[in-house]
């Protein structure tokens, strides 16, 4: 069944339960609904009606979760919080990258189409919504500079970056692969700040439905040979709290629900 779009309903997608945990703990009036084998949580966060969903890992799973959030629950804006590997110089563990746009680094239909181009769309990059993205970048800046207590997970000196994020169905876990990927993207005019595994898929679904999309990623690793070390601990202990804090700042800056 297709729900009509609910103008005030905001989806917040996370890849893993550990990334969602902090948001779920704060959800007021939480109600679970299961669709397509996935659990969704409806409720209120900071006075805003929200639907929390798990993209799981990889572009196919993320596509399905995003399509359910729009087609079944009728969300009118989509946010993504998660982690990514830093690619560009200066994008450090503990920093936040807010996506300006997304590209699929593993998409190659050449020579039929230019490398990275999504066939029949005539484009390689899918932009995020400019207004929502600007609010998200401001929210991230506030969250990183206000550390209200000594148990704050915010890494000292953490910065917010805004730019291109590359998605693909690979966990990039060697310096060699990371340099090759970065060089190939740059050679085609697509210098990316970070790499992850879902965002480009969600951006494409949102573009198809005309739903506003914004995404932030906390940098958990440098996509090098030690990328896997402490990944789970970082996600549970740091990224989840970044998500909770940044989403809190963002939701409070959105217009009151109608
Ligand atoms: N998400 C977090 N770190 C990543 C990496 N190194 N590669 C792909 N996705 C990631």
| Within-domain flag for 163 | yes
Cα 7 to averaged position of ligand 1 atoms, centre (Å): 33
Domain count, the chain: 1
| Within-domain flag for 193 | yes
Cα 112 to averaged position of ligand 1 atoms, centre (Å): 29
How many whole angstroms separate alpha carbon 26 and alpha carbon 43? 10
Examine the residue annotation and report whether 221 is marked as an active-site residue of this protein: yes
| Within-domain flag for 76 | yes
Q: Which residues contact 90 (CB under 8 A, 6 or more apart)?
A: 159, 161
| Within-domain flag for 124 | yes
Kindly give the number of the ligand 1 atom that is closest to the alpha carbon of 170: 8
Which band of pLDDT confidence, cut at 50, 70 and 90, is reported for residue 1? very low
- Over residues 136-178, the pLDDT tens digits come to 999 999 999 875 565 677 777 899 999 999 999 999 999 999 9
Task: Classify residue 123 by its DSSP letter.
Answer: B
- Over residues 184-200, the pLDDT tens digits come to 999 999 999 999 999 99
| Within-domain flag for 27 | yes
Find out whether 57 and 169 touch, Cβ atoms under 8 Å: no
CATH number at residue 239: 3.40.50.1580
| Within-domain flag for 120 | yes
- Over residues 14-62, the pLDDT tens digits come to 999 988 999 999 999 999 999 999 999 999 999 999 999 999 999 999 9
- Over residues 50-105, the pLDDT tens digits come to 999 999 999 999 999 999 999 999 999 999 999 999 999 999 999 999 999 999 99
Cα 171 to averaged position of ligand 1 atoms, centre (Å): 5
Residue to substitute in 217, 219, 227, 235 for testing ligand 1 pocket (most ligand atoms within 8 angstroms of CB):
227
| Within-domain flag for 14 | yes
Find out whether 124 and 117 touch, Cβ atoms under 8 Å: yes
| Within-domain flag for 185 | yes
Range of 143's domain?
10-253
Residues with CB under 6 A from ligand 1: 83-85, 171-173, 195-197, 220-221, 223, 227
Q: Indicate the SS3 state at residue 236.
A: helix
The pTM of the whole model exceeds 0.75: yes
Q: At what angle do helices 130-145 and 240-253 cross, to 10 degrees?
A: 120
Look up tokens 């965002």; give the residue: 199
pLDDT of residue 147: 59
95, 196, 221, 249: the catalytic one is 221
């Amino acid at each position: 069944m297709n729900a009509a779009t609910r103008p005030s309903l905001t989806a917040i997608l996370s890849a893993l339960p550990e990334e969602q945990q902090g948001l779920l703990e704060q959800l007021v009036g939480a109600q679970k609904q299961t669709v397509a084998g996935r659990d969704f949580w409806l409720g209120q966060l900071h006075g805003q009606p929200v639907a929390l969903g798990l993209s799981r890992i990889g572009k196919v799973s993320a596509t399905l979760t995003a399509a359910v959030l729009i087609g079944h629950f009728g969300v009118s804006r989509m946010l993504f919080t998660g982690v990514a590997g830093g690619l560009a110089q200066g994008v450090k563990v503990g920093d936040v990258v807010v996506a300006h746009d997304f590209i699929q680094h593993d998409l190659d239909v050449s020579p039929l189409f230019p490398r990275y181009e999504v066939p029949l769309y005539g484009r390689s990059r899918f932009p995020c919504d400019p207004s929502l993205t600007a609010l998200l970048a401001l929210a991230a800046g506030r969250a990183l500079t206000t550390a209200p207590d000594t148990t704050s997970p915010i890494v000292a000196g953490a910065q917010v970056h805004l730019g291109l994020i590359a998605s693909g169905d690979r966990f990039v876990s060697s310096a060699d692969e990371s340099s090759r990927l970065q060089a190939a993207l740059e050679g085609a005019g697509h210098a990316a700040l970070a790499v992850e595994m879902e965002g480009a898929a969600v951006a494409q679904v949102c573009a198809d439905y005309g739903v506003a999309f914004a995404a932030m990623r906390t940098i958990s690793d440098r996509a090098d040979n030690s990328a896997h070390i402490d990944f789970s601990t970082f996600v549970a202990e740091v990224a989840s709290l970044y998500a909770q804090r940044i989403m809190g700042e963002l939701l409070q800056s959105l217009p009151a629900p109608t």
